[in-house]
Structure 1
């Protein structure tokens, strides 16, 4: 059997703020929580993906300080360009928008970027050949 990516584990400086962020912007929910090594550990997933991929969020991390042109990020696909715009407006009001909505060449598509409370960047995109509905899109080939 080949390895399968199942989770991403993050140490964060403010556990509650990060859990709230991923609930609010990413639609994730808590699927498991426990006390581990003296602190609360939270597992979060997208609805329907609880057995495929989760975020494990743990307290005790240092805030990340990424440059605005650092494109290290977690990527979430959304159903429309309008949804990208809605998320960006909400994030701008909350003070966590880092990349205003923009269109880029295929396969990047239309996207915006937010900064989570730990300093990680989170992209919301439409039109990439990834995520729900992308099965009919061509896979990008190297040039």
Structure 2
């Protein structure tokens, strides 16, 4: 099998503009593409990405589909790594003020780390975390927490 790389996730959303606003505000994503593949009156498809990762991973938002009905014990989610616990706390405080916090801040053992969960406008859960072996600071965490492979 040849090399394979995860490049995007595509989500159907009922309110495209509200979801764009959420992911740009909460996750800091940037608009990469805003297109209508079937002309001016066709459905609008939006590509969002992290600054500097335009060619490696994107979130595609597609209009249509039912809103996601997710219970608080359903841990299906999109995950975003942040640079500090304070940044996670800020997201959680904002989400609580806006009535969309679903998992308050919690510290779990490695590799889960410190996280909170927020509901996007369409009902998808979004995790914001610090201290996972992914994203900012991951190299230091992996070295500190993984068993040695040397003999």
Q: TM-score, normalised by structure 1?
A: 0.94
Tell me which residue corresponds to 2:55: 51
Query: Quick one: which of 111, 121, 127 aligns to 1:123?
Result: 127
Q: Which one has the bigger strand percentage?
A: 1
Runs of 5+ unmatched residues, structure 1: none
Match of 1:28 in 2: 29
- Check if 1:94 corresponds to 2:98: yes
| Deviation of the 1:33 alpha carbon | 1.0
Unaligned runs of 5+ in 2: none
What is the Cα-based RMSD across aligned positions, in Å? Answer: 1.3
Separation (CA, whole Å) in 2 of partners of 1:30 and 1:109: 29
Task: Name the CA distance, whole Å, in 2 between partners of 1:117 and 1:140.
Answer: 37
**1:41 aligned onto 2:45:** yes
TM-score, with structure 2 as normaliser: 0.89
When Rg is computed on C-alpha atoms for both structures, the one with the higher figure is 2
On the 8 A contact 2:131/2:137 being kept in 1, the answer is no
How many matched pairs?
Answer: 141
Higher deviation after alignment, 33-42 or 79-88: 33-42
Question: Are the aligned partners of 1:107 and 1:140 in contact in 2 as well (CA < 8 Å)?
Answer: no
Q: Conserved in 1, the CA contact under 8 Å of 2:92 and 2:101?
A: yes
